[in-house]
Amino acid sequence: CNIYKQGKNWYCEIDNIKITINSYSYTIITAHLIK
């Protein structure tokens, strides 16, 4: 997947899904479909 950092979060985009991960605790904050 396409991983990039923005602010204090990591973002992972694969197909139509965007996953937000907290860079400190490495927990998944959100995972939603990109329209």
pTM here is: 0.70
Contact 19, 12 (CB under 8 A): yes
| Location of structure tokens 């197909």 | 15
Q: What SS3 class is residue 30? A: strand
pLDDT (tens digit per residue) in 1-35: 899 999 999 999 999 999 999 999 989 999 999 88
